[in-house]
Each structure stands twice: as structure tokens, then as C-alpha cells.
Amino acid sequence: MSRLLGALLNPRLTIERCQVDRVSYRRRSRCVLRYTLTGRATGGATPPQRVVYGKLTPRGDATLYGDTLARLRAHFERRREGDRVTIPRSLGWRPELGLALLEEVPGEAKLGSALRARLKGKAADHEPALEDMLSRCVHVAVGLHASGLRFGRPRSLEDRLQDLANEVSITREFSPEFADEAAGWLERLTAYANASAAMPPKLCHGDFKYAQVFFAGDSIGLVDLDNLCQAEPALDLGQFCAYLRAQARKNERADGVPATLEDALCQRFLDEYAVAMALSAENIARMRVRATLHEVASLLRMALHSQQKLKAARLDSTRALVEERLGTLG
């Protein structure tokens, strides 16, 4: 990796040390590694240090980690200063390793820790505040959906429902009772989905969660772009709300913290999105229904994965959320 990264970063840089750290490994054919490189430039300059991220993924290809990310970076760089989003620069796709190499995006995912602090009733010590970070996440979603960029594979709610049916089949092998319960949820979700029309497809992140939005002062970064797709914007909106609710539910809340906190945050997120996209009243109502459908699909997927990983506590909170959100559709 020292030889490979040295050639990619700077032919005049000699890598003297390459420290490899595991960032995440979720046991689903993906792993993210961090390479901290210390080297020596020609001419005896002070040894520089660079950080490169490597993503081992079966979904990578030269188009995604080349032209696609370059075009997305260019799109956000053209936006006015307050709406710019940092997209990681690709250093290339290595098919022989199944490895995508990316430059570091400044900042960190702060919204989750701010939400946990709010749930514990702690004084806000995060910059920016929770609601401000939520608003910036809206700007990221709007920047993608209003971009007009047409790359990414098509992805529909019907595709997601089929994926869920496959997950139910996998779960049935070792937990038939829970699989029956999940199949019932899926049947209800499918009926609601068939009763509403999809929104026109736009460029979507495909796996939009608060953990993928980085904050560094006034700058925003967006990571994990493997799932870029052409889909209805409700996919990103529903996924975001599903993970926000799930995070809130799995943490204890202090006395005085309202039980409706996550509802209020999701409502605010969708309201600001509707205003930023200048949606009509009719399209706002449609967007809310479709976002809830995708939210339930995301929650059902979480529940199935929790059962597959035998994580009972996580399953209990997610199971309750699936029932609640399905109830709002009814």
C-alpha cells in the first residue's frame, strides 16, 4: 500500500510509514480502512502526513470512483458558498483489490452525538446546534435532488420491497415466527405502496443518514456515496427519518425530554425540505406519504437485520417503530 499510495498521491513523495486502521466493518461485504501516511518529500522538506481512506466494496467500479464523483464534486463547487458540500476526491478504483481510494473529508458526524445529548437533557455544547445541523442536512438533500445530474442506477420502492422479501426468506431459515411477523408488515407496506404514485426520479444518495454528513466549522461534507441512484427523493427523506427515529428510540431520555422529540425533528426536516424545493401543497402531501413508505421500508430492513444478528434490544425498539409508522399510513 505504501508503494501504491505513494504513486497515486505524489510521485515525488516517498512514503516512510503507512499506518492502517479499521474504521468500520459491518460484516456485509464492506470494510472501510484509514491509511495514515508519513513520508519525505524531495529536497529534505518536513515529512508531510496524509490521510487516505480505502473502501472495500463489491459495488465499486471505475465510473463511480472516477467520473461520477468528479461530476458531483464539480456540481457542489459551483453552488454559492453557503450551499457547497465537500465530496471526497477519488484516487481511483482498484479492481484487483476491490478497493476504492478516497481523500479525507474534513470534519466529523456530529448530529448523532448532539441528539444523544439532547435526549439526556444535557446543555447544548455542540457547534452547530442540533437544529442547525438538521437544516444543513436539508441543504445536502436539496443539493442532490435539484442537481439535474442523471447518473446512478434506477432504484424504485418496488425494488426495495423485493429486497425485503428476500430478507424475510433469509430470516425464515432460523426464525420462522419473526419472519411471519415481518411478512405481515411487508404485506401491509406493499398495499399502501400500491395505493400511491411515485415521485419523479432525481439523483439520490441512496443511503442518506445523519452519520454521512460531516461538519467542520461552516463546512459540510458528504461521504459513503456507493449507492448513488436515480430514485424518488422520498427514498433519501425516509431513510434519514428512519435512522433519526431509531437513534432516538435506542437511547434513554431524561425526565422532561418530550416523547415526541424525534417526531418534531423529522417534521422540521420535511418542512424545511418542502420549502427549499418550493413544493406545492399537493406535492407536499404526496412527498410525506412516499417518505413514510420508504421510512417503513428502512425500519423493516433494520428489524430484519437485528434479528439476523440476534440483537434483541435493537429489535424491540425497531419493531415498535415499524408498527407506529405503519399506523400513520393507515
The number of distinct structural domains making up the chain is 2
- What pLDDT, on a 0 to 100 scale, did the predictor assign at position 274? 98
27 shares its domain with 130? no
What is the phi-psi region of residue 44: left when phi exceeds 0, alpha when psi lies from -120 to 50, beta otherwise? left
Question: Which DSSP string do the residues of 178-220 spell out, in sequence order?
Answer: HHHHHHHHHHHHHHHHHTSPPPPPEEE-SS--GGGEEEETTEE
What mean pLDDT is predicted for residues 71-96? Answer: 90
153 shares its domain with 302? yes
Helix runs in the chain, H state only = 2-9, 69-78, 111-119, 130-145, 157-172, 176-194, 234-249, 261-276, 281-308, 312-329
73 shares its domain with 189? no
| pLDDT tens, residue by residue, 164-187 | 999 999 999 999 999 999 999 999
| pLDDT tens, residue by residue, 232-287 | 999 999 999 999 999 999 888 998 899 899 999 999 999 999 999 999 999 999 99
246 shares its domain with 312? yes
CATH of the domain at 227: 3.90.1200.10
Domain's final residue, options 49, 77, 103: 103
Minimum mean pLDDT range among 39-53, 129-143, 156-170, 209-223: 39-53
What does each C-alpha distance from 103 to 5, 52, 83, 162, 257 come to in angstroms? Answer: 11, 5, 21, 35, 39
| pLDDT tens, residue by residue, 98-113 | 999 999 999 999 999 9
| pLDDT tens, residue by residue, 207-239 | 999 999 999 988 999 999 999 999 999 999 999
Domain's final residue, options 70, 103, 136: 103
What mean pLDDT is predicted for residues 74-97? Answer: 90
264 shares its domain with 129? yes
205 shares its domain with 313? yes
Measured CA to CA, the distance from residue 231 to residue 203 in angstroms comes to 7
Reported as type and span, the H/E element at residue 90 is strand 90-94
Domain range for 287 is 111-329
- What pLDDT, on a 0 to 100 scale, did the predictor assign at position 45? 58
Confidence of residue 42 (pLDDT cuts 50, 70, 90): low
What mean pLDDT is predicted for residues 303-325? Answer: 91
Relative to beta strand 229-231, strand 202-204 is antiparallel
- Indicate the pTM of the whole model: 0.93
What does each C-alpha distance from 129 to 121, 135, 143, 188, 209 come to in angstroms? Answer: 14, 10, 21, 38, 17
| pLDDT tens, residue by residue, 291-302 | 999 999 999 999
Average pLDDT over all residues of the chain = 92
Confidence of residue 39 (pLDDT cuts 50, 70, 90): confident
Domain's final residue, options 103, 138, 159: 103
State yes or no: pLDDT of 123 exceeds 70.
no
All residues at 6 or more sequence positions from 127 whose CB lies less than 8 Å from its CB, including other chains: none
81 shares its domain with 173? no
161 shares its domain with 87? no
275 shares its domain with 169? yes
21 shares its domain with 41? yes
State yes or no: pLDDT of 124 exceeds 70.
no
55 shares its domain with 121? no
Confidence of residue 82 (pLDDT cuts 50, 70, 90): confident
The C-alpha angle with vertex 297 and arms to 295 and 22, in degrees rounded to 5, equals: 85
144 shares its domain with 81? no
